[in-house]
Amino acid sequence: MDPVASTSDPDLDLFIFGATGDLSVRKLLPALYMAHLHGNLPAGARILAVGRQALSREGFIQQVLGGARQFIEARALQAEAWDRFEALIDYVALDATQAEDFVRLARHSRPGAQRVFYLATAPSLFTRICAHLAGAGLVDAQARVVLEKPLGHDMASARAINAEVGRFFEERQIFRIDHYLGKETVQNLMVLRFGNAIFEPLWRAPFIRSVQITVAETVGVGSRAGFYDGTGALRDMVQNHLLQMLCIVAMEPPVSLDPDAIRDEKLKVLRSLRPMGPAEIARDVIRGQYTAGTVQQRAVAGYLQEDGVPPDSRTETFVSLKAHIDNWRWGNVPFFLRTGKCLAERCSEIVIDFAGQPFSLFPDTYRSAGNRLVIRLQPEESVQLQIMAKEPGSGMKRRPVSLDLDLHTAFTERRAEAYERLLIDVIRGRLTHFMRHDELEAAWAWVEPILHGWAAQGDAPRPYAAGTWGPAASSALMARHDMQWSEEA
């Protein structure tokens, strides 16, 4: 984490649009409290909560901020710190479609303060809010805007958002947030790859056999059905989270740690993804939809029985696919991406399967086994390197064992949550862990043909029982390449 904020830092006015919404309550307000508790907000910080509800300041603090307390660890809730945090907060009721409301909002901002606008609203409001902020004189050369996903529904809408927001904010002022890029283990990938000489010579074909990236959830859509049914797993997870992790795994070493140097290399990866045609989509992309089942000993309803989901919905809650990066480093190495809801376990991980030996000297059942690097993001954060070792008392029989790095044990310092870390990056003006406009558009350019292919095929997602690892076709996708998902290996 950063050192304690200096009293010489400029005053900060942080505006949260959508402050009464779910994201604000569960993530943003708890993250800001933790940053405040540990001295990582500027001494002159204020938080201006902006929402549609006609609440007083006291009503907001009682109703919304009080609700955020349940998402903060009990040991971190210190009465004196909480009182000081409450004192930073004001609430402004505002209709985002009314320009005159923004003139009133401007009266709450201090002259000369650093302004950060966090848009935790529907993307359809992004351009209107930015236009009204500019019209009210709130956008200057030091202002910053944070855009929550989803950033568009397709390529055209993503380009429109980029163009319209770009009318009022320069690219250096725009922070497109992906909270997965704030996770400590994702950020540690850069050090793991480029700070350890033992990995870099082998981080390529033919030494790597395949790469798996999984983001598995045990929860269903819950109260998000209205949003989710118009989005689906491909837009909600693959287009942003999974492709961003793929970029960090696959990118070339940047020339420096400058944000644009890193983002330039990620962009090259996105532009090197092999486009998918109808045949590849039908063969290499699996989409599924959960049915009733049992998740961790809890009975759950199927997706079509969730409140707010149309009974004939064809929205996918699961996607697995095989991708290829057509460049010299990764030629012919398959990347298997997978994400889904109501799966068997909550798990986010990256698995690097190294190629096996061409010939085995040892009389055991692991003739084709190679080494495997498992980078676990959640629920725990760890790095495991699987090697082969001699089984005691067995002659020369081998068995896979793991060299484990538990990051929580290795580093005893407090580990900030992703949103806290990214909010501090915004305040400090660090763009490294935020998407640039051309990254966003390149990701959509690869994903959009899959959406079009599904529409042309017209078939429904494959059903899978809640509490499993998705449709059987997902395992079959791996089996065609003589491979297995990590939990099956």
| DSSP structure class, residue 362 | S
In the block, tokens 């997902």 appear at 474
Q: How far is C-alpha 358 from the geometric centre of its chain's CA atoms?
A: 38
Beta bridge partners of 338: 214, 320
Vertex 70: Cα angle to 64 and 76 (nearest 5): 110
**For residue 30, how many other CB atoms are within 10 A of its CB?**
22
Q: Is 183 annotated as ligand-binding?
A: yes
| Dihedral of alpha carbons 376, 380, 382, 387, sign | negative
In the block, tokens 């033992």 appear at 198
The alpha helices in 205-256, defined as continuous H runs, are: 225-228, 232-233, 243-250
Beta bridge partners of 385: 373, 403
Q: Is 341 annotated as ligand-binding?
A: yes
Q: Is 236 annotated as ligand-binding?
A: yes
Beta bridge partners of 293: 300
Q: Is 482 annotated as ligand-binding?
A: no
Beta bridge partners of 383: 375, 405
Angle between helices 418-428 and 29-37 (to 10 degrees): 70
In the block, tokens 């004001």 appear at 90
Question: What type of residue is 82?
Answer: W
Q: Is 217 annotated as ligand-binding?
A: yes
* Residues taking part in catalysis: 241
Q: Which residues of 92-129 are buried (b: 16+ CB within 10 A; e: fewer)?
A: bbbebeeeebbeebeeebeeebbbbbbbbbebeebbeb
Q: Is 27 annotated as ligand-binding?
A: no
- The whole-angstrom separation of Cα 190 and Cα 192 is 6
First CA to last CA across the chain, in angstroms?
A: 37
By the 8 A CB rule, do 129 and 119 touch?
Answer: yes
| Dihedral of alpha carbons 317, 441, 448, 377, sign | negative
Q: Which two tokens stand for residue 215?
A: 């983001």
- The whole-angstrom separation of Cα 121 and Cα 13 is 18
Beta strands in 10-113 (DSSP E): 12-17, 45-51, 89-93
Vertex 26: Cα angle to 24 and 29 (nearest 5): 50
Question: What type of residue is 216?
Answer: A
Q: Is 284 annotated as ligand-binding?
A: no
| Dihedral of alpha carbons 296, 302, 307, 308, sign | positive
> What 3-state DSSP class applies to 393?
coil
**For residue 133, how many other CB atoms are within 10 A of its CB?**
23
- Residues at the binding site for substrate are 179, 183, 217, 236, 341
**Annotated binding site for NADP(+), which residues?**
52, 149
Binding-site annotation: residue ranges: 52, 149, 179, 183, 217, 236, 341
